Amino acid sequence: MPRYYFHVHHGQTELDREGEELPDKHAAWREATVAAGHGLDVKLRPQEDWSMEVVDEFQNPLYTLRISAEKPK
């Protein structure tokens, strides 16, 4: 089974060095959206950007999720 990695960027970069074995890139997308929801509540602050890059076992980029938090004026 292929391995996928989920690198997070939010002011600093957190490289996923372990990765996760998943059946295919569609399963990696589902995992990314679930993991993003769990990670955002702790890491995202107003006026910050957050992103997660999903790469395959050869470090080829597959998806990037980007979220920008803004305070109303």
pTM of the model: 0.85
Asked if residue 73 belongs to a domain, the reply is: no
- Residue at 39 is within a domain: yes
Cα–Cα distance between 70 and 14 in angstroms, integer? 22
What pLDDT digit, counting tens, does each position of 22-73 carry? 999 999 999 999 988 776 665 667 778 889 999 999 999 999 999 887 777 7
Domain range for residue 37? 3-68
Domains in the chain, number: 1
